[in-house]
């Protein structure tokens, strides 16, 4: 296990995010703290999607014949499908799959729903659990067999341009979402051999974890007309002809929580962005014999004010234990801001504020009129600084190379992401993956100049990224 893996497992347990002891491999239990982070994260995501998507909910089970209809799609998932074969003691005459993803559950219904050009576009999403019998090493939140938090959007369009526009729109949506979490990413078009089964092309988001390996945290697929033809999804044009639709789908998973934890955490434990932190502010009274009551009542007022006026998730920790012990615990749990108040502070009109992300402690004057506003500003400031910090760390770890030898050196020494010119040929790309024992993430963009491929020397105009991946 890498140092990061060890850290990750330990923090999931210590901070009570999930319990990994459930007796099925790859399936875990969300604990209250983890569930709160998940809830706040989903709230942000839904607020963005709800602007022009509708939320729906499809059944978990997919009949075998529907799942099998789209040949390329089913080929991509056949090793990973869990099957329901019995109802009680009766063997089912048609096996039912636990959805590994929901194209084949949703599209037969789309075939019924889409009638006229005036129905389009359609933008639906659902947040559900999906099941994949993963054969690669399972890891909590990162590679699970029950994906408990699978957000999948499925859109339908009258023409190709509109579907392409939706792909860009989905990329913009995911950027907005990850930006709110301060999770940095690279966006690439996956190579042919790594696209979603059944898609024309796949655009993927990857982030970098502290051990130098990337994690795919979201994907946007242009499905073209493949599924439309398989599931007979057509619409009537203005002139009365029947045309196949164009489709896109895009998905996120529990990995969004893994990336929040992995990207921001440090040796003291979790470090949560205010937007998803179960507690945003913890107040720790610094108590001496003298003035105890005054301090406690001041802190109680402060808690009420932050909660009621500021809508801030604040908590007064007035347990009868050492302040140092409280600090340790809340730092480990990743509370973004801690306020410490002692008797002298009250006299001086001051308080001590501690920022979790940079471990910085400072004494600030407070003005009770502006206090709520000041704390809200501080939280916003923390959000921005956490994002800056994580983006810096990602950008520092993208290294441009001119040759495979140079790439090998960089991968060995620094890990992280390698950027290079690639000819775009599958054979050459796979050759590089093998030689360097990395994955080609995909093409980031075309270079302006004609360059040569870092591997084979042929002409290349594609700036491409590769890395060791989860
Ligand atoms: N229907 C489309 C959206 C789809 O299923 N796409 S996908 O297969 O790429 O999955 C969407 C996202 O789920 C991926 O980008 C990846 O971040 C995540 N994911 C895939 N398999 C996972 C697993 N076993 N555990 C956790 N997350 C997973
Ligand atoms: Mg691969
Ligand atoms: Zn090449």
Give 287 Cα–ligand 2 centroid separation in angstroms. 57
* CB distance 219 to ligand 1 below 6 Å: yes
Taking the CA of residue 143 as reference, the ligand 1 atom at the shortest distance is 25
Determine the Cα–Cα distance for residues 142 and 438; give it in Å rounded to an integer. Answer: 18
Determine the Cα–Cα distance for residues 56 and 77; give it in Å rounded to an integer. Answer: 23
Q: What is the DSSP secondary-structure string of 296-318?
A: HHHHHHHHHHHHHTT---EEE--
**Six-digit token pair at 294?**
């005054």
Q: What is the DSSP secondary-structure string of 60-85?
A: SEEEHHHHHHSHHHHHHHGGG--EEE
Residue 413: what pLDDT? 83
Q: Nearest CA to 272 among 49, 11, 47?
A: 11
Taking the CA of residue 102 as reference, the ligand 1 atom at the shortest distance is 1
- From atom 4 of ligand 1, which residue's Cα is the shortest distance away? 251
Task: Report residues near ion ligand 2: CB below 5 Å.
Answer: 439
Determine the Cα–Cα distance for residues 143 and 80; give it in Å rounded to an integer. Answer: 13
* CB distance 152 to ligand 1 below 6 Å: yes
Sign of the alpha-carbon dihedral angle for 444, 450, 456, 457: negative
Contact 22, 144 (CB under 8 A): no
Give 380 Cα–ligand 1 centroid separation in angstroms. 31
Please report how many Cα atoms fall inside a 13 Å half-sphere around the Cα of residue 218, on the Cβ side: 29
Residue 219: what pLDDT? 98
Contact 131, 277 (CB under 8 A): no
Q: Which of 124, 253, 469 to mutate to test the pocket of ligand 1 (most atoms within 8 A of CB)?
A: 253
Residue 450: what pLDDT? 82
Q: Nearest CA to 210 among 175, 259, 144?
A: 259
Determine the Cα–Cα distance for residues 302 and 304; give it in Å rounded to an integer. Answer: 5
> Residue 145: is the preceding peptide bond cis (ω within 30°)?
no
Give 251 Cα–ligand 1 centroid separation in angstroms. 6
Domains of the chain by start residue, with CATH: 4-264 (3.30.930.10), 281-382 (3.40.50.800), 398-467 (3.30.110.30)
Determine the Cα–Cα distance for residues 391 and 264; give it in Å rounded to an integer. Answer: 11
The model carries a pTM of 0.97
Question: How many CB atoms are located within 10 Å of the residue 192 CB?
Answer: 12
Residue 1: what pLDDT? 62
Reduced to 3 states, what is the DSSP secondary structure of residue 407? helix
Residue 163: what pLDDT? 98
Residue-by-residue pLDDT tens, the chain, 470 positions: 679 999 999 999 999 999 999 999 999 999 999 999 999 999 999 999 999 999 999 999 999 999 999 999 999 999 999 999 999 999 999 999 999 999 999 999 999 999 999 999 999 999 999 999 999 999 999 999 999 999 999 999 999 999 999 999 999 999 999 999 999 999 999 999 999 999 999 999 999 999 999 999 999 999 999 999 999 999 999 999 999 999 999 999 999 999 999 999 999 999 999 999 999 999 999 999 888 999 999 999 999 999 999 999 999 999 999 999 999 999 999 999 999 999 999 999 999 999 999 999 999 998 888 999 999 999 999 999 999 999 999 999 999 999 999 999 998 888 899 999 999 999 999 999 999 999 999 999 988 788 999 999 999 989 999 999 99
Q: Which of 30, 214, 255 to mutate to test the pocket of ligand 1 (most atoms within 8 A of CB)?
A: 255
Taking the CA of residue 218 as reference, the ligand 1 atom at the shortest distance is 15
Give 439 Cα–ligand 2 centroid separation in angstroms. 5
- From atom 14 of ligand 1, which residue's Cα is the shortest distance away? 218
């Amino acid at each position: 296990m890498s140092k990061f893996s060890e850290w990750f497992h330990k923090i999931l347990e210590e901070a009570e995010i999930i319990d990994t002891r459930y007796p099925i491999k790859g399936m875990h239990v969300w604990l209250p703290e983890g569930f709160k982070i998940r809830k706040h994260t989903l709230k942000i995501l839904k607020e963005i999607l709800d602007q022009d998507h509708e939320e729906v909910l499809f059944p978990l089970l997919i009949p075998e014949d529907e799942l099998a209809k789209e040949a390329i799609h089913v080929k991509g998932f056949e090793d990973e499908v869990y099957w329901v074969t019995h109802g009680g003691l009766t063997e089912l005459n048609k096996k039912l799959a636990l959805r590994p993803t929901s194209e084949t559950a949703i599209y037969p219904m789309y075939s019924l729903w889409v009638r006229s050009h005036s129905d389009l576009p359609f933008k639906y999403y659902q947040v559900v659990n999906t099941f994949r019998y993963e054969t690669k090493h399972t890891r909590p939140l990162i590679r699970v067999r029950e994906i408990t938090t699978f957000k999948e959007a499925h859109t339908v369009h009258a023409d190709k341009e509109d579907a392409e526009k939706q792909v860009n729109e989905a990329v913009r949506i995911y950027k907005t979402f990850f930006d709110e979490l301060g999770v940095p990413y690279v966006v690439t078009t996956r190579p042919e051999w790594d696209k979603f089964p059944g898609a024309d092309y796949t655009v993927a988001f990857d982030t970098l974890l502290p051990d130098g390996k990337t994690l795919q945290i979201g994907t946007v697929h242009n499905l073209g007309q493949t599924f439309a033809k398989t599931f007979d999804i057509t619409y009537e044009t203005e002139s009365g002809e029947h045309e196949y639709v164009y489709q896109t789908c895009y998905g996120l998973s529990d990995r969004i929580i893994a990336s929040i934890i992995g990207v921001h955490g440090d040796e003291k434990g979790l470090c949560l962005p205010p937007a998803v932190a179960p507690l945003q502010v913890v107040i720790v009274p610094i108590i001496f014999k003298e003035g105890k009551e005054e301090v406690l009542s001041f802190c109680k007022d402060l808690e009420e004010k932050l909660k009621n006026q500021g809508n801030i998730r604040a908590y007064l920790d007035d347990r009868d234990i050492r302040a140092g012990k409280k600090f340790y615990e809340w730092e480990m749990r990743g509370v973004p801001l801690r306020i410490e108040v002692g008797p002298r502070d009250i006299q001086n009109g001051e308080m001590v504020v501690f920022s979790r992300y940079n471990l910085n402690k400072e004494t600030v004057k407070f003005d009770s009129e502006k206090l709520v506003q000041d704390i809200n500003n501080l939280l916003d400031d923390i959000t921005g600084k956490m994002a800056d910090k994580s983006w810096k760390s990602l950008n520092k770890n993208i290294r441009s190379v001119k040759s495979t030898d140079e790439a090998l050196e960089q991968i060995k020494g620094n890990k992280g992401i390698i950027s290079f010119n690639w000819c775009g040929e599958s054979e050459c790309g796979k050759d590089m993956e093998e030689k360097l024992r990395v994955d080609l993430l995909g093409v980031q963009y075309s270079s302006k100049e004609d360059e040569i491929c870092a591997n084979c020397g042929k002409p290349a105009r594609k700036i491409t990224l590769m890395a060791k991946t989860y």
